[in-house]
Amino acid sequence: MKTMTKDVDPIVLDLIENALLNARFEMDSVVVRVALSPVIREQHDEFPMICDPQGRMIVGQFGSYIPAIVEEYSDINEGDIFVWNDPYACKGSISHNNDWCVMMPIFHEGVHVGFSSIFGHMVDVGGKVPGSMPADAYSIWEEGLRVPPVKIYEKGVMNEGVLKIMLNNTRTPDMNRADLMALVAGCRTAAKRVQEICDRFGRETYLASCGLLLNRTREAMRVLINKYISEEPVSFTDYVDDDGVGNGPFKMQLSIYRRGDTAVFDWTGTDDQAEGPINFHIHEGLCKLFFGVYMIMAFDPKIMFNEGFYDLFEIVLPEGSLLNPKFPAALSNRLNTHTRFFDCQAGALGQKAPHLSMAAGYGTSPHFIFTGQDSNGKYFQLMELLFGGVPGRPRGDGLDGHAWWPLFSATPIEYIENYYPVVVESYRPVKDAGGAGLHRGGAGIEKTYCVLEAGSVSIHDDREVVPPWGINGGLHGGTSSKWLIRAGSDERERIKSKLDNLQVEPGDRIVFITAGSGGWGDPLERAPEKVLADVLNDLVSREKAEEDYGVVISDKNVLDSSATEKLRTSRKKERGEPAPFDFGFIPGVHAAE
């Protein structure tokens, strides 16, 4: 339902909007300065937001889960701070136990004016393996401590019992305590800034502005829905490789259509929940947010990203499916499904607006975890998120070795080598991993770790079997792979993309190769000079330049323009119109068709 508001001067509205945006980014800055773990401090795996009194996100990244928490409590006071991490107890507002979420009601002169909240990934929350994301879990009971929504501060006083329980169930209590206090500090920072806005412009003007910002986004989204979503359903299917316990691939099927001003996103046809931990218990509101942010970023990035459009979306999540699993299904590695969710969005929405579409990306959030005891007997646990190819898109080439979360950054090699018994021997893009296209897909990365102490390694990745597809004539990108090289040997032993407790000794090396991404547009239309530049930059081989792009380059890396023109003319005649999608070959799927 449309939010009712009073009039606010447009300049004042803009000032409040930008003050809230600044407060949201200040939350990030505070969190990364206080946190201790590399996952939050260096890689920024935390997601803040500021909400109105009804719990609707005004600024942020991940969408509001506040109403599902608040409905459990009739008594909320100034100074209260809530914490939780159980996906099932908060209706999927966070999606695995590693995410600890903090929420704080904001008051101005005793009047409730909103909420601030942040969740961040803790490096360990107990469970059967270090890192708390077992590749072979069959239930959430194996994935660590589960905390329902509780008050960690009540009227400003810390509940020491809750904190002790949480820290007593982790292998990394010092890091977790620092990271939790960082989240609290971020929420308090936002509360202070909202109070300052109310002081400056007046509380009623602030609250009215929140409603206006929501309404403005709603009206802009209504225009996008009517322009880019048809009444005739459009469907798309993609696959997750496997669930870590021997099953797969898993189908994800999305249909999108419009009913009046309402966009319907229907996941009927998606496979049943997995035995292993790739299930994604997604909150309906979060599902709406993912569709909304894609439509905003693809179709009109000037629109402010908030929850004003939620009533314009209808979501169908079949119960017992990969996206709506029944308790106690395992959830720890849900990112493989989570990111395929985005690929399905792109494939479905792009069919009616190919000029605004994008291809598929590297398709997960690859994890490398190395644990053990150093020479001084001190426990260590390195957890790093790796990145891959960001897909080709209308505006240009995809990004090489980039995160699919825009604000994430790579852990500096100097940080890793200074704090952990590891040497990073190489870190480079993978040649020919970016799908060919008018706009090339981004390349995956190859990172080689040499361990200096005995310990165990866990790895979580995907798109080893199912390639990232290309669109509008673009070709699919390269897949991922992992390799073990034992000390004193040069032989590579292939290892699974999802495994735990791989025992390693000093001098052993792990070669971690992430997937690339699909290309966008006809590769035979790409400027030959750009293809040559990719060859010179070691992103494309001369063989692939000729095979995929029809560009002839000599042994001395000189472009043969005449031969290129002839080859391209011949290729276009043989091929005809390029295909709208290129999925590559998917074992277990195409073989059966």
d(CA 57, CA 283): 14
Three-class secondary structure of residue 160 per DSSP: helix
d(CA 551, CA 576): 18
Question: 357 pLDDT exceeds 80?
Answer: yes
d(CA 486, CA 256): 49
**Could you read off the pLDDT of 25-43 as tens digits, one per residue?**
999 999 999 999 999 999 9
pLDDT at position 299: 84
The answer to whether 68 and 283 are in contact (CB under 8 A) is yes
Q: Which of 419, 338, 336 is nearest to 384 (CA)?
A: 419
pLDDT at position 1: 42
d(CA 389, CA 345): 17
Q: Which of 385, 387, 496 is nearest to 136 (CA)?
A: 496
d(CA 51, CA 65): 10
Taking each helix axis from N to C terminus, what angle separates 173-201 and 10-34, rounded to the nearest 10 degrees? 160
Question: 303 pLDDT exceeds 90?
Answer: no
Query: What is the percent of the chain where pLDDT is above 90?
Result: 85
**Could you read off the pLDDT of 453-498 as tens digits, one per residue?**
999 999 999 999 999 999 999 999 999 999 999 999 999 999 999 9
Question: 452 pLDDT exceeds 60?
Answer: yes
Q: Which of 280, 312, 281 is nearest to 295 (CA)?
A: 312
Question: 389 pLDDT exceeds 80?
Answer: yes
Average pLDDT value for the chain: 94
Question: 5 pLDDT exceeds 70?
Answer: no
Question: 586 pLDDT exceeds 80?
Answer: no
Q: Which of 139, 102, 100, 138 is nearest to 117 (CA)?
A: 102
Mean pLDDT of 437-442: 98
**Could you read off the pLDDT of 409-439 as tens digits, one per residue?**
999 999 999 999 999 999 999 999 999 999 9
Beta-carbon contacts of residue 192 (< 8 Å; ≥ 6 apart)? none
**Could you read off the pLDDT of 123-161 as tens digits, one per residue?**
999 999 999 999 999 999 999 999 999 999 999 999 999
Phi/psi at 24 (5° precision): -60, -40
Three-class secondary structure of residue 481 per DSSP: strand
Q: Which of 495, 282, 468 is nearest to 368 (CA)?
A: 495
Burial (CB < 10 A; 0-12, 13-18, 19+), residue 282, is buried
**Could you read off the pLDDT of 48-105 as tens digits, one per residue?**
999 999 999 999 877 667 877 877 787 899 999 999 999 998 877 788 999 999 999 9
Q: Which of 341, 381, 346, 344 is nearest to 364 (CA)?
A: 341
pLDDT at position 332: 94
The answer to whether 318 and 267 are in contact (CB under 8 A) is yes
379-385 and 493-495 beta bridge pairing: unpaired
Query: What is the percent of the chain where pLDDT is above 70?
Result: 98
Q: Which residues pair with 458 in a beta bridge?
A: 369
d(CA 301, CA 313): 19
Question: 265 pLDDT exceeds 90?
Answer: yes
d(CA 500, CA 134): 7
Angle at Cα 236 formed by Cα 437 and Cα 249, nearest 5°?
Answer: 90
The answer to whether 503 and 456 are in contact (CB under 8 A) is yes
262-266 and 313-316 beta bridge pairing: parallel
Position 178: which residue type? A
Mean pLDDT of 274-302: 88
Length of the chain: 593
For residue 235 the two structure tokens come to: 């469907």
pLDDT at position 63: 66
The answer to whether 439 and 397 are in contact (CB under 8 A) is yes
**Distance from the Cα of residue 505 to its chain's centroid:** 32
Q: Within 13 Å and on the Cβ side, how many CA atoms surround 184?
A: 19
**Using the 8-state DSSP alphabet, how is residue 409 labeled?**
-
pLDDT at position 4: 47
pLDDT at position 225: 94
